[in-house]
Structure 1
Amino acid sequence: MGNKFHELKEELYEVISNVQSVEAIPRDFEEKFLSLINKVNFLLMEDKDNFYGYFLLQMGRAVKYDIASPTSIEFKQAKYVIYFNPFIYLGLTTEQMQSTIKHEIHHILSLHLIRAKQLKHTYSTLAINMAMDIVVNQYLDYLPPYATTIEWVNLNYNLNLKPYNSMEYYVNKIQEELNLLEENEDSEEDDTKESDIEKEYDISKTHNQWDKSLEIDDKTLKEFTEKFASEAVKGTIPVYLSSMIEALSNEKGEIPWNIYLKKLMGTLESKKKKTITRRNRRQPNRLDLKGELRNHIAKVTVAIDISGSISDEEFHQAMKEVLSIVKNYNHEITILECDTEIRRSYKIKSIKDIKEREVTGGGTKFSPVFQYVNGTDTNILIYFTDGKGEERLKALPKAYNTLWIISGRGDKLSLANPFGIVKRLKKVEIRTDTVDLLDIKNEGWSMNSQQPMI
């Protein structure tokens, strides 16, 4: 296959090398190009990591000249479709051709189509794209020279990102730096693009095709992803792939809320404050500009629905874990008791400071909490509720992270757009003994209770 493969690749590259419009491409080009993709598929199936080959075998394939990357994906008509831009894809080596397909499959297994949708109202497209690509590229060899890697982002954005963290960790760090640089990916379209053809890689546009998959509900997408993955397992697979697949097939594989909170707290270390004692890093000769120092104070607001939806046992155990997580940071915690309005607010330093709450038994509105928190310098809002309330917020959250925690007796969040991550509490039994469940788990969480940090 070797010589014939390279001959076909060179022939196809020669055909389009000087093409300036889609109309000028020969009619039989796409058929020949897709036959080249068939050969790449066979190479993947012959590889020791043949999972990728069998996964690709289930996917639809099409040529699309206006994507700004060699490959892209979409969920369409009950299956994943992978698109190829020959103008970019044919410039890759054989190994890079295989790697960029693996890249897209990693996005699928990591549920990035779903997770990116949850973040798009809080973070910029550029930050999300870079964060997702950093995650998947850490597991791949033979990357294209323009691939977005953790080393490239650290170098070009003066960051110190740590490897093998979650997409949410990376997007938060990157967005903060983009804000400092005042870079905006929503700039005007490049008028130099020829017709409907993209000939160069552009990280700000690499996942634009995903928007067409947004109408698919998350549950359906997860089920199809699990089915595709299970059908592709034909033997031994690498540990990192096994972890991703296990997380797909086990809802308990989702990152627990407290682990997620711990990761959020870690991102706050990069918050910065202005100071006159240090020169501006980017313009050191401008004495009129203030420099920046790290600010380690974590401002956490905890909203608790007192309409009767969450038991005292649930809330107290959850607050023990919150306090256990934030104790290693210079922090400040404010409690908000709320139902259709905010009934009381106070600060706490320990579990003993939590006041006995009155159960009102009324309804719930989320908007008053966001209206209140928008007027504070909160970094993280943790909202404990059974999920029943408004469908739309009247006040949109500003520059803070929101973590929704649904009680064990709750179903799902009523909001159409939560503007944050939604997690669930495990059901808590009322016990008569004095054993503290947190003490039992003081050795840490079992790896069976969380997914890979992808």
Structure 2
Amino acid sequence: MESNFEDQVKELYEKANKIADVSFKTNYKNSKADKDVLEDFEKEFFSLADKVNLGLMEDKDNFYGYFLFQMSRKIRFDISSPTAVNFKGAKYVIYFNPIIFLNLNINQMETTIKHEILHILSMHLIRAKEFKRNYSTLAVNMAMDIVVNTYLDNLPPYSTTLDWVNLKYDLKLLPYKPFEYYVEKLQIAIDLAAEEGKDGPEDHGGKDEKTETEYNPENTHDIWEDSSEIDEKTLKEFTEKFINSSQKGTIPHYLDSMISSLKNSNGELPWNLYLKRLMGTVPSNKKKTITRRNRRQPDRMDLRGQLRNHKAKIAVAIDISGSISDEEFNQAIKEIISIVKNYNHEITVIECDNEIRRVYKIKSVKDIRDRMKIRGATRFNPVFEYANNNNINLLVYFTDGKGEDKLQAVPRGYKTLWVISGRGDKLSLREPYGVVKKLNNIEARDDIPSINECIRSGYSMMNQEPEQI
């Protein structure tokens, strides 16, 4: 069986190269002879793919086999990876580049199929669109591949793995971290490599401009852009249907965790994860460099290129009005500590009741100050006036929500995230001009911890509503 499989792979590989040589690729010739050659090749290729899928369905991880069984299958010679996926016409489609796919052994073939399905379960097809606005395609692709490849064995030798990335960019990235962690670290490393004039990933070529013969991490997920226009909620519903039809027995713990996370999500992110998402979308400051050519005009040697500086200006407003208890104030301080620890940006704290009482910058948790003794009423407007006049990229406002019903100073050029304290109910504003999230409820205590105790205790990301991603 194994010998027959290898012979079939070898024969198909030779046919695939001949087809590519005569320009059969995505838009095939119109002649009947050309179509017949293509149809015969597709039948033979998918017969081999069926054998691979049979192995998946007989394996302990048979979830992947049943998931693949529901997908449409197509051949594309113009993708720069052995397999790729997108969503077309109410169905997930898996694409095969025979020239790259047929260079793998059967275990690697199974792994590259699992790789694509894990991208689907992680909702990467949707998330990639959001992050490519502010991160390079290479950083996004590699970060997403690290996330899914961590769970896989028998990877093709060129796969983007954590060890490979750490070695290539001289990093010490940790395993099992969220996508946001990897994409930010990788983008900084990629920009630094460009600044130092180091070569990026090789530009793998093919037989012509539309045939890919080797893996290229920068282009491997280009086909995601070709998916049908669909909102996240609807795509999630379709994905759940595929999942429900694929669960025929026990599944590995990591798969169960992914599926549970997807099914339990109502589309709402808790405040800390939403903040991470916002941090990926705020405009990054740019710095000029002579070591990178201008992207718009690469032949103009007199124009300087740009590197991402990733130094956004975050304003963190704290409601210190009389309706805010000491527990709620300290709860907000704990959240600010988490921001300081997780983001290397310029952070300004604004303490406000009916007017701004104090403004100061913080670089570490040691810079956070004790609460002032003033207990006025609550007005949101002064903070927005300050933000409008100080080139803020992002405003995070901690409050119990009890203020005006209308803002006089409408936010200009920055995003707003409202975080309602544990005892708060809802935001009084009719139009919040931003997203509103709520912390977990807190109980009244007699022994209110000091600011120093909050700092010593640190923050575990657990004092919030259940994670919903």
**In structure 2, the residue corresponding to 1:9 is in which secondary structure?**
helix
Q: Is the 8 A contact 1:252 1:450 kept in 2?
A: no
The letter for the 2-side match of 1:257 is W
Residues 247, 253 of structure 1: 8 Å contact kept: no
Structure number with bigger Rg:
2
- Residue 55 of structure 1, CA deviation: 1.0
Q: 1:141 is paired with a residue of what secondary structure?
A: coil
Aligned 8 A contact 2:143 2:182 in 1: yes
Q: Is the CA contact (8 Å cut-off) linking 1:256 and 1:423 kept in structure 2?
A: no
- Label 1:151 to 1:45 Cα distance change in 2 as closer, same or farther (>3 A): same
Question: Does 2:84 align with 1:56?
Answer: no
Cα separation, 2, equivalents of 1:262 and 1:195? 38
Tell me if structure 1 keeps the 8 A contact 2:204–2:214.
Answer: no
User: 1:186 Cα shift?
Assistant: 12
Query: How many residues matched?
Result: 396
Query: Which of 159, 163, 176 is the matching residue for 1:147?
Result: 159
Report deviation, 1:243.
Answer: 0.6
2:7 aligns with: 7
Runs of 5+ unmatched residues, structure 1: 266-296, 375-379
- 1:321: how far off? 2.6
| Structure 1 CA distance for aligned equivalents of residues 121 and 181 of structure 2 | 18
Correspondence 1:250 to 2:269: no
Displacement of 1:352 after TM fit? 0.9
Aligned to 2:50: 38
Distance in 1 of aligned mates of 2:357 and 2:90: 49
C-alpha separation in 2, matches of 1:337 and 1:229: 48
SS state at 1:72 partner: strand
Letter in 1 for 2:262: L
CA contact (8 A) 2:52 2:110 kept: yes
Paired amino acid for 1:169: Y
Give yes or no for the alignment of 1:425 onto 2:444: no
2:244 to 222, 230, 237: 230
Q: Secondary structure of 2:348's partner?
A: strand
Deviation at 1:40, TM superposition (A): 1.3
1:120: how far off?
A: 1.3
- Rate the CA distance shift 1:141–1:191 in 2: closer, same or farther, 3 A: closer
Note if contact 1:253-1:449 (Cα within 8 Å) is conserved in structure 2.
no
**CA 1:87/1:152 → structure 2, altered by over 3 Å: closer, same or farther?**
same
- Equivalent in the alignment of 2:78: 66
- Pick which of 191-200 and 65-74 moved more: 191-200
Deviation, structure 1 residue 450:
3.9
Please name the residue that 2:182 is paired with: 170
Rounded Cα–Cα distance in structure 2 between residues aligned with 1:26 and 1:11: 15
C-alpha distance 39-425 of structure 1, shift in aligned 2 (>3 A): same
The answer to whether structure 1 residue 352 and structure 2 residue 371 are counterparts is yes
Contact 1:406–1:413 under 8 Å retained in 2: no
Farther off after superposition, 343-352 or 47-56: 343-352
CA distance in 2, matches of 1:153, 1:257: 30
Verify the 8 A CA contact 2:99 2:213 in the aligned structure 1. Answer: yes
Matched, 1:325 2:344: no
Taking a change above 3 Å as real, the CA distance of residues 358 and 205 of structure 1, as seen in their structure-2 partners, is farther
Q: CA deviation at 1:193?
A: 5.6
Cα distance in structure 2, aligned partners of 1:302 and 1:238: 41
Aligned to 1:294: none
Task: Identify the range of structure 1 (403-412 vs 177-186) with the bigger mean alpha-carbon deviation.
Answer: 403-412
Distance of 1:412 and 1:191 partners within structure 2: 56
Paired residue secondary structure (1:81): strand
Does 2:94 correspond to 1:75? no
1:302 corresponds to 2:309: no
1:213 aligns with 2:227: yes
Distance 2:262 2:155 in 1: 26
CA distance in 2 between counterparts of 1:37 and 1:123 reads 35
Counterparts in 2 of 1:10-409, with a 5 A limit?
Answer: 10-18=10-18, 19-20=20-21, 21-22=23-24, 23=29, 26-182=38-194, 194-213=208-227, 215-251=229-265, 256-258=270-272, 300-303=314-317, 312=324, 316=329, 319-325=332-338, 333-336=347-350, 346-347=359-360, 349-350=368-369, 352-353=371-372, 359-360=378-379, 369=388, 372-373=391-392, 382=396, 395=413, 404-405=417-418, 407=420, 409=426
Shift of 1:2: 3.7
C-alpha deviation, 1:318, in angstroms: 5.1
In 2, Cα distance between the equivalents of 1:52 and 1:435? 53
1:288 aligned partner: none
Q: 1:114 to 1:435 in 2, by over 3 A?
A: farther
Name the aligned partner's letter for residue 41 of structure 1: N
Structure 1 letter corresponding to 2:6: H
Which stretches in structure 2 are left out of the alignment for 5+ residues? 280-310, 361-366
Letter in 1 for 2:124: H
Seen in structure 2, the aligned counterparts of structure 1 residues 394 and 65 have a Cα distance that, compared at 3 Å, is farther
State, as a whole percentage, how many aligned pairs show the same letter. 45
Q: Summarize deviations over 1:374-420 as a string: whole Å, max 9, x none.
A: 5xxxxx7535699x99xx9963x6xxxx78456574799998xx9xx
Quick one: which amino acid aligns to residue 120 of structure 2? I
Cα offset, 1:108, TM superposition: 0.9
Deviation at 1:451, TM superposition (A): 7.1
Contact 2:100 2:213 in 1 (8 A): yes
SS in 2 for 1:237: coil
Q: Within 2, Cα distance between the matches of 1:260 and 1:95?
A: 38
